[in-house]
A and B are shown apart, each in its own frame.
Chain A
Amino acid sequence: GQNIDQPTEMTATEGAIVQINCTYQTSGFNGLFWYQQHAGEAPTFLSYNVLDGLEEKGRFSSFLSRSKGYSYLLLKELQMKDSASYLCAVTSNDYKLSFGAGTTVTVRA
């Protein structure tokens, strides 16, 4: 099975940078996803990492270290609309996606 840990809540100021960490323990690893979920809405895909390193996509970047069982999602130039929950999810050898409990990010003016 998987054990996925991420902080429960984070608060940051508009225009700032926030880094959301995710650590995982899994019996096998086949990829890590980050999803964004606004309150009352469905999750939407942000990023996918399967190899070590940094994947950049506009204001959002995701990093993976397989040897450390560690990932982070970096949100730059924060905007009010970035207030949401961010879900870390891992695919393991049984090819099922397991989610962390999510990190609620609040962006303040």
Chain B
Amino acid sequence: IAGITQAPTSQILAAGRRMTLRCTQDMRHNAMYWYRQDLGLGLRLIHYSNTAGTTGKGEVPDGYSVSRANTDDFPLTLASAVPSQTSVYFCASSDSAGGAGEQFFGPGTRLTVL
């Protein structure tokens, strides 16, 4: 059982390019989340989904979009990358919607925007 996977592991991207970070879980969890982690700021919630077909905005949603077409996949898209989006991105899932349950994190994607 893989748990939760993310791709790519790392990426260097030119500013202005479009990029989709992939996240897949095989635990049949209803809730999924995207965070970014920056030094000194901790993990900040970008977008979340409490169940397939629904999404919501987190603390720092600007410049990012998500979709949740099915239970397993929760891709994060940067429509036009900017250098301030350089960060480590973590996807997470939980069997309890709304942040109440333990969250399982993917291994992360390290993104550099030049």
Residues of A in contact with B (beta carbons under 8 Å apart): 30-31, 33, 41-45, 48, 87, 89, 91, 95-102
* Residue in A closest to B41 when the chains form the complex, CB atoms: A101
A83 to B63 alpha-carbon distance, docked (Å): 35
**Docked-complex contact A42 and B90, CB < 8 angstroms:** yes
| Minimum distance in angstroms from B66 CB to a CB of chain A | 14
Asked whether A100 and B58 contact (CB < 8 A) given A30-B100, A42-B106, A42-B107, the answer is: no
A47 to B101 alpha-carbon distance, docked (Å): 11
Q: Of A31, A41, A42, A100, which one neighbours B100 at CB under 8 angstroms?
A: A31
What residues of B have a CB within 8 angstroms of the CB of A100 in the complex?
42
Asked whether A43 and B107 contact (CB < 8 A) given A48-B102, A95-B99, A97-B99, the answer is: no
What residues of A have a CB within 8 angstroms of the CB of B103 in the complex?
33, 45, 97
Interface flag for B40 (CB, 8 Å): yes
Residues of B in contact with A (beta carbons under 8 Å apart): 33, 35, 40-45, 48, 58-59, 90, 97-100, 102-108
A96 to B106 alpha-carbon distance, docked (Å): 18
What residues of A have a CB within 8 angstroms of the CB of B43 in the complex?
43, 87, 89, 99
A5 to B103 alpha-carbon distance, docked (Å): 21
A33 to B102 alpha-carbon distance, docked (Å): 8
